[in-house]
């Protein structure tokens, strides 16, 4: 197994670098983490898969760039949930450390890629809403499907490149530098840089949404004054305003769920303070909040987006009809067999 410089407060680990990061000491803690990850992860995958199905099974919805960005967010949440639950439970609950440095950094890069892509998808959605509200007459010319797919391709490629820099060589084993106290093999400078990237990304999202809300308020005032004349344009403005508010709710939930994790990472990555074992356990439990965030996002879509909600109702109606028709068809088949 690869070894490198271990954290100073982990001297109790006798040479095995990976064991230094297994902070769950009691069976109750491991069971709690396992239940949280299993519940949140399963619900997250199911709900976000349903969102993807609703988007790409409806021709009218999947043609809109706004929902392509929401689909990207759902895909990022699915990947993050699967990779995070498998690696986190395997490491902290079952204490399996018999894998190489490359495998661990591959898993960590997958989680970081998905989280970064989730944030970046929110940023693209904010920019899309801002263009739709501020320049409605030019929106279809400025935001085409081709440009949306190109932006998503650049987004995922950039996030993956940044997330996999440790696997490509920017790690404390290759550089013989100080390792992070939260993640094995991760260089302190890389962690600080990645956190700065996330903070800048969050700042851009907040700035973009502030403009979206400002424009939305202007449109609400306009609609109240010209309600009789606006007609169809009014309906479109109301949809834009509702979607903008929906995405602000998504951003608020994301901030609340990820703030504890980011604060702890900032403490160790930027302030260079030393974490106690208790704080490292708190970090492990706070990490599961990312699954809660990914689980809540689709619920917000279903409750706030009329198009997705209508598509969901159609899917359930179809499913109910199939359930009703199936027993009737089976009973008809049985009766025909009996008569024969």
Tens digit of each residue's pLDDT (9 = 90 or more) over 198-222: 888 888 887 887 777 777 777 666 6
Distance CA 297, CA 295 (A): 6
Locus of tokens 């309600």: 227
Q: What pLDDT is attached to residue 212?
A: 76
Long-range CB contacts (< 8 A, 24+ apart) of 59-68? Answer: 60/307, 61/307, 61/308, 61/311, 63/145, 65/128, 65/143, 65/144, 65/145, 65/147, 65/148, 66/125, 66/128, 66/129, 66/132, 66/243, 67/307, 67/308, 68/145, 68/148, 68/149, 68/152
Q: Classify 179 as helix, strand or coil.
A: strand
Check if the beta carbon of residue 26 is closer than 8 Å to that of residue 292: no
Range scoring the smallest mean pLDDT among 155-169, 180-194, 205-219: 205-219
Q: Over pLDDT 70: what percentage of the chain?
A: 76
- Chain centroid to CA 148: how far? 19
pLDDT at 338 over 70: no
pLDDT at 14 over 60: no
Q: What pLDDT is attached to residue 159?
A: 93
Range scoring the smallest mean pLDDT among 91-95, 191-195, 251-255: 91-95
Largest Cα span, the chain? 83
Q: Model confidence over 24-60: pLDDT tens digits?
A: 777 887 888 888 888 888 998 998 998 898 888 888 8
Distance CA 36, CA 168 (A): 32
171: which strand partners? 186
Backbone angles phi, psi at 222, to 5 degrees: -65, -40
> Which of 9-18, 31-40, 71-80, 87-96 is predicted most confidently?
71-80
Q: What pLDDT is attached to residue 340?
A: 40
pLDDT at 65 over 90: no
Start-to-end C-alpha separation, the chain: 71
Check if the beta carbon of residue 325 is closer than 8 Å to that of residue 74: no
Domains of the chain: 23-226+240-307 (1.20.1070.10)
């Amino acid at each position: 197994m690869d070894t490198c410089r271990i954290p100073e407060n982990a001297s109790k680990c006798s040479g095995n670098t990976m064991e230094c990061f297994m902070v769950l000491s009691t069976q109750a803690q491991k069971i709690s983490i396992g239940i949280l990850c299993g519940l949140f992860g399963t619900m997250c995958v199911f709900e976000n898969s349903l969102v993807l199905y609703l988007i790409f099974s409806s021709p009218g919805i999947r043609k809109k760039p706004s929902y392509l960005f929401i689909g990207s967010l759902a895909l990022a949440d699915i990947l993050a949930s699967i990779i995070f639950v498998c690696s986190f439970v395997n490491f902290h609950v079952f204490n399996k450390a018999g894998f190489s440095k490359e495998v661990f950094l591959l898993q960590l890069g997958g989680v970081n890629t998905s989280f970064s892509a989730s944030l970046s998808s929110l940023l693209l959605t904010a920019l899309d809403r801002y263009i739709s509200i501020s320049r409605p007459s030019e929106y279809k010319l400025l935001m085409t499907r081709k440009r949306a797919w190109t932006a998503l391709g650049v987004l995922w490629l950039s996030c993956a490149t940044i997330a996999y820099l440790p696997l490509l060589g920017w790690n404390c084993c290759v550089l013989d530098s100080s390792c992070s106290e939260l993640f094995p093999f991760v260089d302190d400078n890389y962690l600080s840089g990645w956190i700065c990237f996330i903070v800048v990304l969050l700042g851009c999202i907040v700035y973009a949404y502030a403009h979206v809300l400002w424009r939305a308020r202007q449109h609400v005032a306009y609609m109240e004054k010209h309600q009789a004349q606006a007609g169809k344009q009014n309906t479109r403005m109301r949809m834009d305003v509702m979607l903008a508010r929906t995405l602000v709710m998504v951003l608020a939930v994301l901030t609340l769920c990820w703030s504890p994790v980011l604060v702890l990472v900032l403490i160790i990555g930027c302030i260079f303070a030393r974490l106690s074992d208790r704080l490292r356990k708190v970090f492990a439990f706070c990490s599961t909040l990312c699954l809660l965030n990914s689980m809540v996002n689709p619920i917000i879509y279903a409750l706030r987006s009329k198009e997705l909600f209508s598509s969901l109702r159609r899917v359930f109606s179809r499913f109910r009809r199939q359930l009703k028709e199936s027993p009737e068809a089976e009973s008809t088949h049985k009766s025909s067999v009996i008569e024969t």
